[in-house]
Amino acid sequence: MEIDTKKEAKLKELKKRLDDIAGRDVDVSVDKALHFIFPIASQSYDDNGVVTYQRIFFPSKSCSQRRLLDVAGSSVTADGGKRVFLLTDFLCSTVNAFDAPVNLVVTPRSTTPFYVTAEYTLVQNPGLPTSFSDLQITVLSWNPNGSPAPGVAFDWRCRLISYPIIE
């Protein structure tokens, strides 16, 4: 959405005030600051996913049916050109068990050239150290000259194994 410079300045001021009122950095681009509720992610489960495993000894592969979670969302990098978030920040479920392989794609949303890099870490479940209850995602945005680029809106998509949990 194209915004004139006066309106953009007012929206940035509105965003700053929303941050102050909320007592935190409200993760929203200035063009969405006019709304007090907005979508941040979509998700679906595929109970018919197949995961391929490789054996270390006696090299061969095997396949097992697994439940896969596919999540897509949008966000924006903070002042230092960095955004760190948990996958569960974008999920409605509160009890989760995840595993690799993880597929993560991040794309900047801009007509200005930017680069984004991303990494993830599976977060151990404190109650069950052999399982993972979350995924931490770190996104960094860069200007073409290599300096950090703050305020870059981006879309992301993540797919990983999600074990069903009976609540």
* Count of residues making up the chain: 167
Domain-embedded: residue 12: yes
Number of domains in the chain: 2
pLDDT value for 34:
58
Of residues 103 and 165, more confidence is placed in 103
Quick check: 76 pLDDT over 70?
Answer: yes
Domain-embedded: residue 28: yes
Q: pLDDT averaged over the chain?
A: 86
Q: State which of 4-13, 90-99, 158-167 shows the largest mean pLDDT.
A: 90-99
Digit-coded pLDDT (tens) for 5-22: 787 777 777 777 777 776
Domain-embedded: residue 59: yes
153 plus 103 within the same structural domain: yes
97 plus 19 within the same structural domain: no
pLDDT value for 102:
96
* pTM (global) more than 0.85: no
SS3 annotation, 105-137: EEEECCCCCCEEEEEEEEEEECCEEEEEEEEEE
Domain-embedded: residue 167: no
pLDDT value for 27:
65
Tell me the two tokens of residue 11. Answer: 């929206």
Digit-coded pLDDT (tens) for 119-151: 999 999 988 888 999 999 999 999 999 999 999
Range of the domain at 115: 40-162
pLDDT value for 1:
46
Quick check: 24 pLDDT over 60?
Answer: yes
103 plus 125 within the same structural domain: yes
